[in-house]
Amino acid sequence: MKKVILAALTSIMVLAMLVPVIAADVAQPELANDTTPELRRALAIKAPDVAGVNQLVTITVFDRNTGETVPRAGVWAVHVKDNSVEPYAALYENNAQFLGWTDRDGNVFHRFKGEGQYVLAAIKDGYIPGFAQITVKPLRALAIRVPEVAGVGEFVTINVVEKYIGAPIPKAGVWAIDVNDIEVEPDNAEDYAALVEKYAQFLDWTDEDGNVFHRFKEPGRYILVALKGNLVPGTAKITIKPLRALAIKAPEVAGVGQLVTITVVEKYLGIPIPQTQVWGINVNDIETDTNDPEYYASLAEKHGDFLGWTNEDGNVFHRFRESGRYVLIAIKDDLVPGFARITILSLQPVEVQPVEVQPMTVKPMTVKPIAMQRVAVQKMVMQPMMVIQETRK
């Protein structure tokens, strides 16, 4: 069966140069009359002019006249050396590669393993075959993986990989271009690379895992560009949103002298905010109990105690010396303040529990009167004297 198809392809591809003429004749309305036999429908192929080795290529087959996609059409690729007609006639079994049947959307997906120029042929019963050319180059290209949206000051991971195989690319330079600095956005990565020297901010070189870590200081839309050697540049877009409000994470209850961790984050993004003032106000010094953070911020310097500046992780550590109810306030320029409430309990003294002592049984001692003790002593002393006197006798 394959040999039959290849034989048919040999004849068809010899006529490849005639297909545009035939198609043009099909499109002529004056030929469509009662005496003209109905012409066969013709196929056409849509594919990129250039692709890279191992790049996933979409090949679409459609009806040349109606523009509708054509399912179950066979797609073949022939590796040729030039644009002459001889290669079309020199179609042998070892030279043609069957790529697959088109799906219901008229598509075949393929990765070319070798570089060079290929002629694509689409065949289906009842249709004039369609042809297209594609050049496969040993292109290696960069790609950038990055979140679409991040916040000002948020720690963003920018990952640079090889576009077609996903391998990380170390030692690639990463730049950021503010879209407000360019009048027209380029159509391809090479044009973006040309703008790097003039408009871009250098972020860093990728590490062994292909990563660059960066915190954007200003809101806006940025185009990221990755460059390395002769590789095709990679690009990606990221939107940096402005920080709007602060929030505080802290325990609701703690004890006097207990080390309390107070964390300040961006209210809507949840990212930690460093270099933020944290104050504590005893509620006894506040006239109004409200949920307005601006009100508490206005009282911070007058009635509050400054607890410290947040570190890089957004944390302040504090030990409250007195019990009571406090309002914590976080303040940073251009951001809505954040607040939280905390209750500090006094440390309770440890109560000494009475220990039950079991009574001991002691035998009573018999004590002789003192007079009786004297008599006994005298007897003990006199007894040896009496023995001596009896001996003398």
pLDDT tens digits along 346-370: 977 656 566 666 666 656 555 555 5
Per-residue model confidence (pLDDT) at position 102: 97
pLDDT of 36 reads 47
CATH of domain 246-345: 2.60.40.10
- Report the C-alpha gap between 332 and 317 in whole angstroms: 18
* pLDDT, mean of residues 264-290: 92
Please give the C-alpha separations between residue 233 and each of 223, 258, 380, in angstroms, as whole numbers: 12, 54, 123
Pairwise CA distance, residues 239 & 117, whole Å: 40
- pLDDT at position 90 over 50: no
Third-level CATH fold of 142-241: Immunoglobulin-like (2.60.40)
Give the total residue count for the chain: 393
CATH, domain range 2-137: 2.60.40.10
Domain residue spans in the chain? Answer: 2-137, 142-241, 246-345
Task: Give me the chain's average pLDDT, please.
Answer: 81
Which of residues 383 and 26 earns the better pLDDT score? 383
The proportion of the chain whose per-residue pLDDT surpasses 70, expressed as a percent, equals 74
The better pLDDT of the pair 51, 188 is held by: 51
Question: Which pLDDT band, with edges at 50, 70 and 90, does 137 fall under?
Answer: confident
Q: Tell me, yes or no, if the two domains 142-241 and 246-345 fold the same way.
A: yes
Closest C-alpha to 118, from 99, 104, 105: 99
Average pLDDT over residues 97-118: 93
Half-sphere exposure of 249 (CA within 13 A, CB side): 12
| CA-closest candidate to residue 269, choices 238, 239, 241 | 241
Mean pLDDT of 164-188: 87
DSSP at 152: T
Predicted local distance difference test score (pLDDT) of residue 47 = 95
Give the global pTM: 0.44
CB 62 within 8 A of CB 68: yes
The letter for the amino acid at 57 is V
